[in-house]
């Protein structure tokens, strides 16, 4: 029931069944909530006739009279992985840095990559256009846009980097040592500063991959690769696969949003960890976006952050970039064989 108090029309939550106030159904200038001792005044009414709590002893004593403000739903504008890697506050964008993604290719017509500097090549006898999805997802994490088209949250890290897409895995998601080595060779020849490889094979250390990683480091390029998804923790921890098991290639493990090692993440020879569970990123049209899990998703987080560090200091190339990533990683209370130096952190 509306009452008049000092020129205000006043209603109380007591006027509603179980005090379940339907605010939009009330014409009152002021609504009193007696259980909490608060009264809210409509903005215009508050501006024209501010009042004291003591002057309005309506439906019980009041402690607070405040204007009513509009509130808005809070939707995260950044993926959890970027937040945990400290990417949003970074002033770096990967500008001037060449990032190679050796994977299943890229959806070259994806709206989030329109106008980007992209160099591409294929090594599997199929067009670079990604018909699998894996490559578009990993490219998105490493180098996706600062502001995606539409309402998607930010999911990409090095949004100003030049992207080198090497299709070394076919549209079924498979490749060979030859296709991968060809992609490595191409990326080094084209002056890439980082090479991101979200691929793994459960095979021993290959001399060819070790040699390629060493050659890359000598030319100021850092190779970063997924450790593999072969574990079934805690019962079984599989060893890091190739090419990440080579001493000259940085191996990446996956953690979840609680910063615990992912149950599938291979272990042993691990240098660093990245977000790898429920990772949101770009995906081929018409889907546009997808959420995937794997050390494949952790690896481009490290590669994208590596590009930011490389931009921050021209001396951070090859082995120096490797050392910087490990030195600045967020320490985790987990064995180095699970997460290496910890969670990768942006500058």
123: Cα within 13 Å, side-chain hemisphere: 24
- Taking CB atoms within 8 Å and a gap of at least 24, the contacts of 309-314 are 309/92, 309/346, 309/347, 310/94, 310/97, 310/193, 310/194, 311/92, 311/93, 311/94, 311/95, 311/96, 311/97, 311/158, 312/92, 312/347
Spell out the alpha helix ranges (H) of the chain: 43-48, 80-84, 134-143, 177-189, 207-218, 295-312, 319-327, 336-339
Three-class secondary structure of residue 137 per DSSP: helix
Three-class secondary structure of residue 131 per DSSP: coil
Quote the CA–CA distance of 93 and 169 in Å, as a whole number. Answer: 28
**Which residues belong to the active site?**
103, 134, 296
The size of the chain, in residues, is 347
Tokens 């060779």 sit on residue: 185
Any residues with CB less than 8 A from the CB of 341 and at least 6 apart, and which? 271, 272, 325, 326, 327, 329, 331
């Amino acid at each position: 029931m509306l009452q008049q108090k000092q020129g205000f029309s006043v209603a109380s939550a007591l006027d509603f069944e179980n005090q379940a106030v339907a605010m939009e159904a009330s014409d009152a200038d002021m609504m009193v909530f007696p259980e909490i001792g608060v009264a809210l005044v409509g903005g215009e009414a508050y501006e024209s006739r501010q009042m004291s709590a003591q002057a309005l002893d309506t439906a019980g004593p009041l402690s607070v009279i405040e204007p009513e403000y509009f509130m808005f739903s809070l939707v995260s504008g950044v993926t959890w992985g970027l937040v945990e890697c400290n990417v949003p506050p970074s002033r770096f964008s990967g500008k001037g840095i060449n990032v190679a993604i050796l994977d299943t290719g890229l959806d070259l017509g994806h709206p989030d990559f329109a106008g980007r500097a992209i160099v591409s090549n294929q090594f599997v006898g199929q067009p670079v256009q990604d018909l699998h999805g894996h490559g578009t997802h990993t490219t998105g994490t490493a180098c996706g846009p600062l502001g995606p088209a539409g309402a998607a949250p930010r999911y990409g890290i090095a949004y100003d980097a030049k992207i080198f897409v090497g299709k070394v895995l076919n549209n079924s998601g498979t490749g060979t040592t030859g296709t991968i080595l060809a992609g490595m060779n191409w990326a080094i020849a084209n002056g890439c500063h980082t090479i991101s490889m979200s691929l793994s094979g459960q095979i021993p250390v290959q001399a060819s991959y070790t040699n390629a990683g060493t050659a890359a480091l000598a030319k100021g390029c850092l190779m970063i690769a997924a450790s593999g998804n072969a574990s079934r923790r805690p019962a079984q921890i599989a060893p890091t696969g190739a090419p990440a098991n080579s001493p000259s290639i940085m191996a990446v493990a996956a953690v979840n949003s609680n910063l615990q090692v992912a149950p599938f993440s291979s272990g042993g020879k691990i240098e660093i960890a990245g977000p790898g569970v429920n990772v949101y990123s770009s995906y081929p049209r018409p889907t546009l976006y997808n959420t995937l899990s794997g050390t494949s998703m952790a690896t481009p987080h490290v590669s994208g952050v590596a590009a930011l560090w490389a931009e921050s200091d021209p001396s951070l190339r090859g082995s120096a970039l490797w050392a910087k990533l490990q030195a600045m990683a967020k320490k985790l209370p987990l064995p180095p064989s699970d997460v290496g130096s910890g969670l990768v952190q942006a500058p």
